[in-house]
Amino acid sequence: MKAVLATPALIDTELPEPSPGPRDLLVKVEAIALNPVDLKVRDAMGADDPPRQLGWDAAGVVLAVGEEVGRFRPGAMVMFAGAIDRPGCHAEAVLVDKCLVGRRPNMLSWAEAAAIPLTGLTAWEALFERLRLDPYGGDQGTSLLILGGAGGVGSLAIQLARGAGLTVIASASRPESQAWVRELGADHVVDHHQPLAPQLAALGFPRVEAIANFSDTDAHWQSMAELIAPQGSIVAIVGNRAPLDLNLLKAKSVSFSWEFMFTRSQFQTKDMGRQGEILDRLAELFEANVLRPSLRRTFTPINAANLELAYGELAGGHMVGKLALVGWG
């Protein structure tokens, strides 16, 4: 089968098709999407490291299943992010644990579906598991500041938050990204390259009840500590570069959480299957037109050259929504 390996340079190669274990689905990959985690893993590789099959966002068709798989059969159309400690989806066929797979939304293209899993799971877990907001409207009107609203995670988080009845303030710095977050349903937009407190105060929010930081944890730590309401909650997804002063949150009894989508698969938690359930719920929301795709650009076919172009675009740091690659040529 065709595959692309990071050495860390990207190379086209041929690999044997893997065989599913008892809990595995073997999936023919129709489309893949890129995320910052791909860049981080590749950048961490040394010249002497063994080649690695990257990629943790895909949609495709089930080719075969292991003996313990009962939910999906060959021919099923699925989407998944998979596990970071297994070979990724930059190959024509890949193995994925049955707990981490959801069905593909019926009306979406392969590329649109491939752009959902990692960002969709991250956004859902951040909002509804780490911040403990109610996805079904129980926290109607709660103020939520989303830092990095125009990126892949932010694009879905805005929509999920609006669907949950939250008051969404999204950050975006450029005219095109500000237009995008408004289009997705943000109630208010602020510029994260400018001081946040006066912008929020002008909107009538001297404090916010929850903050989801999908951008730079270090850069916004001080302002988040100032802006969060007493007994509020903060979640972040980008690791810190310097020590974070948690004492800034103490007087307000603020809760702080990390969100890492790969935690369940990496530690084989008892609730690993929850990710498959979340993906199925996301499929329902897309089919009900509650959510819209965050895909903004597609490359074809999937090969080392096009992946390099896509990596370059992602590394530029100005992505609005997501990009995907489709077909093996």
User: Quick check: 239 and 221 in contact, CB under 8 A?
Assistant: no
Read off the amino acid at residue 87.
P
Considering the domain architecture, whether residues 60 and 161 belong to the same structural domain is answered as no
What confidence tens digit (pLDDT) does each residue in 114-163 have?
A: 999 999 999 999 999 999 999 999 999 999 999 999 999 999 999 999 99
pLDDT of 162: 97
- In this structure, how many other beta carbons lie within 10 angstroms of the beta carbon of residue 220? 22
Cα 18 to the center of its chain, rounded Å = 26
* Per-residue model confidence (pLDDT) at position 317: 73
Average pLDDT of 222-242? 97
**Maximum Cα–Cα distance across the chain:** 60
Query: What is the domain-level CATH number for residue 244?
Result: 3.40.50.720
pLDDT band (50, 70, 90) for residue 102: very high
For residue 314, is it within any domain? yes
Which is more confidently placed, 317 or 64? Answer: 64
pLDDT at 5: 97
231 and 289, same structural domain? no
d(CA 310, CA 273): 31
pLDDT higher than 80, residue 318: no
Whether 106 shows a pLDDT value over 90: the answer reads: yes
Mean pLDDT of the chain: 96
Asked if 309 and 276 sit in the same domain, the reply is yes
- With bands split at pLDDT 50, 70 and 90, how would you rate the model's confidence at 329? confident
Q: What mean pLDDT do residues 71-92 have?
A: 97
- What confidence score (pLDDT) does residue 65 get? 98
CB atoms within 10 A of CB 273: 16
Residues 160 and 131 in one domain: yes
201/272 same-domain check: no
Range of the structural domain that residue 167 is part of: 119-258
Contact 298, 323 (CB under 8 A): yes
CB atoms within 10 A of CB 316: 8
Residue 173 class from Cβ within 10 Å (0-12 exposed, 13-18 middle, 19+ buried)?
middle
**Does 22 sit behind a cis peptide bond, omega within 30 degrees of 0 on the bond before it?**
no
User: Of 226, 258, 290, which marks where a domain is finished?
Assistant: 258
Q: What total of structural domains would you count in the chain?
A: 2
Asked if the model's pLDDT at residue 217 lies above 90, the reply is yes
Distance between CA atoms of 211 and 239, rounded to whole angstroms?
Answer: 16
What is the token pair recorded at 36? 């910052």
Whether the CB-CB separation of 119 and 156 falls below 8 Å is answered with yes
Half-sphere exposure of 207 (CA within 13 A, CB side): 12
Q: How confident is the model at residue 316 (pLDDT cuts 50, 70, 90)?
A: confident
- Predicted confidence band of residue 321 (pLDDT cuts 50, 70, 90): confident
Coil, strand or helix: which one is 189? strand
Token pair of 242, please? 């310097």
DSSP bridge pairs for 11:
5
pLDDT tens digits, residue range 242-299?
999 999 999 999 999 999 999 999 999 999 999 999 999 999 999 999 999 999 999 9
* pLDDT confidence band for 320 (50 / 70 / 90): confident
Residue 263 lies in a domain: no
Q: What percent of the chain has pLDDT over 90?
A: 95
pLDDT band with cut points at 50, 70 and 90 for residue 201 = very high
CB atoms within 10 A of CB 283: 22
